[in-house]
């Protein structure tokens, strides 16, 4: 099992540009989560999906952020336009849930720098 796969690992972009982060969850996992991590705010949940359907996007900072999960094996997080304050590490995680969680499996993250 290759685990949760995120790409790219690093992204440096200029302010105003569109950024797309990608995630492939573990096969068979029915939940997918997008987190953002910064020193100041720690790990913040942005949005999560259950069976490809967005369940809670209350953590998405603003309209510049959008996320999709077109199928069970792929999700994207898009920032348009990007701003320097979006600089952070973005993690995707997946899990299986049967009335009780069995823990999340995180990807290696995408380190985003907006200059």
Binding residues for another protein (CB under 8 A): 31, 33, 42-43, 45, 48, 50, 55-56, 91, 93, 95, 97, 100-109
Q: Which is nearer to another protein, 18 or 102 (CB)?
A: 102
Query: Which residue, 15 or 43, has its beta carbon nearer to another protein?
Result: 43
- Classify each residue of 68-90 as buried b or exposed e, where b means 16 or more C-beta atoms within 10 Å of its C-beta: ebeebeebebebeebeeebbbeb
Q: How far is the CB of 114 from another protein (least distance, A)?
A: 20
Residues 6+ apart with CB under 8 A from 48: 31, 32, 33, 34, 54, 55, 56
User: Of 76 and 105, which has the nearer Cβ to another protein?
Assistant: 105
Smallest separation, CB 16 to another protein (Å) = 28
């Amino acid at each position: 099992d290759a685990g949760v796969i995120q790409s790219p690992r690093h992204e440096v972009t200029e302010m105003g540009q569109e950024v797309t982060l990608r995630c492939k969850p573990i096969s068979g996992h029915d939940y997918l989560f997008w987190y953002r991590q910064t020193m100041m705010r720690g790990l913040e949940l942005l949005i999560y999906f259950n069976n490809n359907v967005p369940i809670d996007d209350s953590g998405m900072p603003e309209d510049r952020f959008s996320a999709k999960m077109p199928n069970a094996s792929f999700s994207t997080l898009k920032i348009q336009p990007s701003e320097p304050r979006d600089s952070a590490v973005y993690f995707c995680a997946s899990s299986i849930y049967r009335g009780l969680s069995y823990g999340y499996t995180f990807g290696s993250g995408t380190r985003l720098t907006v200059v």
